[in-house]
Amino acid sequence: MAIKFEQALLDYPQQRAGAARQTNSVDQSDRRVPINLRQSGPTPVEMLISTRVRKSPYWHLAVEAGCWRATVYNRMYHPRGYVRPEDGGAMVEYQSLVNDVTLWNVAVERQIQVKGPDAEAFVNYVITRDATKIKPMRGKYVILCNEDGGILNDPVLLRVAEDEFWFSLSDSDLELWLRGVNLGKGFDVSIAEIDVSPVQIQGPKSEALMADLFGDEVRDIPFYGLMEGQVAGRDVIVSQTGFTGEKGYEIYLKDASQYAEDLWYTVLRAGERHNLRVIAPAHHRRIAAGILSWGQDVDQETLPFQCNLAYQVPRNKAADYIGKARLEAVRDAIDAGRPPFRLVMVGLRLGGAPVTDYANDFWLVSERDGDEAVGYVTSPWYSPELETNIALAYVPWELRHLGTELSVRLPPEYAAADGSLDADAEVVEVPFRPSVNPNARERARARGIDFAD
């Protein structure tokens, strides 16, 4: 059966089956499951969607706004396209993001509430950063690791009260992990998903739109700051956060299953004067900002030191947390010049035709003019500002330095003008261009601290 299935994929027409399966692999002997064997993309079979996958409260509104394709994220439908390819596709959506203001349905960021007298102590035990330094009505980008130091989830963590935190999840089921941890530890907390669904308001005109919705008070929210408010009389939490590096906000609607339309239509009406467009999450912009996507760029076998998240592992956190012993041992090994992993994330500039849509496979990386695959691309896209393709990729530790020349094997749809599938690539700095809202790594670099090694 396996042989027949493999042959069916090989025989299936390229334009329907998506990128061909890789013909060779990359040495990932330090992983249990090599990531480039987890092939993805279109298949020669119809994908069955059942009641295992649910619609968010905004789903019908996204369809009404023109959503024509979706993926599955946290077991929910997730819009991934509003402008059709014949009308310019995702790059038209990109222009609205960087020039005007955009509305995203991101209800797939499920909210897991941790509430109770021991909420701070419990959260401090499951995240690598110091939760005691997060004050009420503030948030942080955080990671949670397993005992091996692998990244289980990289949510935005909102502290909405002294005794209440919300984990705004990336694409992995964290609630079950949190409940399992507490079965053994016995913290005095409740842990549950709550009926709160966010939308994102992103782009240079986002502040003006938010001021129309909430008044000028919203202009004073600091990056990762929170504010209580109402939209159409419905209670919300506002944060100055987002998935872009642009100026932006998220609006977390309470009782979203009842009031989604009230929020959505109110934002649309207020956005008319700001040229608002409903778009899909802008992976082209988040790549330029160096923002990671769980399951695509990182997973539970990825260490923070491999993917530019070393700043998430503080040297001075006294309290114990899951993965601490392993992560400190890894850092000591790196400091001694003996990293216990083979591959590390870098940024690449690369040739080929402009990449203007999601890659449906991991593209292999080799040394310049080399035949052996040594790494792989996780997230490529075309940058209009830089006028080149850019990508996040994993390469061997010794090839991580800026200026290193590499080669990327492209799928046929992105071949160079001369038909070549081997694109020259160069290791460059991440982020690829300055962010309006710089992340912690960018701010640290501005202070003379670099986490590259």
Q: Residue 12: what pLDDT?
A: 40
Element (H, E) at 228: strand 226-231
What is the pairing mode between strands 276-278 and 101-105?
parallel
Q: Residue 367: what pLDDT?
A: 96
Q: Domains in the chain, start-ordered, CATH in brackets?
A: 196-274 (3.30.1360.120), 298-446 (3.30.1360.120)
Q: Residue 47: what pLDDT?
A: 80
Q: Residue 35: what pLDDT?
A: 81
Please enumerate in sequence order all residues whose Cβ is within 8 A of that of 47, keeping only pairs 6 or more positions apart, or say none.
Answer: none
Q: Residue 24: what pLDDT?
A: 65
C-beta of residue 157 within 8 angstroms of C-beta of residue 142? yes
What is d(CA 256, CA 307) in angstroms, rounded to the nearest whole number?
34
Total-model pTM: 0.92
Listed in order, strand segments (DSSP E) in 144-195 are 144-145, 151-153, 156-161, 164-168, 190-193
> Amino acid identity of 161?
A
Residue showing tokens 């071949």: 415
Q: Residue 445: what pLDDT?
A: 60
Residue showing tokens 């008044």: 215
What is d(CA 145, CA 127) in angstroms, rounded to the nearest whole number?
7
What is d(CA 255, CA 233) in angstroms, rounded to the nearest whole number?
12
Q: Which two tokens stand for residue 204?
A: 């240079």
The pLDDT tens digits along the chain (453 residues) read 333 434 433 444 444 444 445 656 788 888 898 887 776 777 778 888 889 999 999 999 999 999 999 999 999 999 999 999 999 999 999 999 999 999 999 999 999 999 999 999 999 999 999 999 999 999 999 999 999 999 999 999 999 999 999 999 999 989 999 999 999 999 999 999 999 999 999 999 999 999 999 999 999 999 999 999 999 999 999 999 999 989 999 999 999 999 999 999 999 999 999 999 999 999 999 999 999 999 999 999 999 999 999 999 999 999 999 999 999 999 999 999 999 999 999 999 999 999 999 988 889 999 998 889 999 999 999 999 999 999 999 999 999 999 999 999 999 999 999 999 999 999 999 999 877 666 555 655 665 544 433
Would you call 24 exposed, middle or buried from its count of C-beta atoms within 10 A (0-12, 13-18, 19+)?
A: exposed
| Helical residues (DSSP H) of 199-255, grouped into ranges | 206-214
**3-state secondary structure (DSSP) of residue 421:** coil
What is d(CA 234, CA 229) in angstroms, rounded to the nearest whole number?
8
Q: How far is CA 116 from CA 133, 194, 197, 407, in A?
A: 18, 15, 22, 52
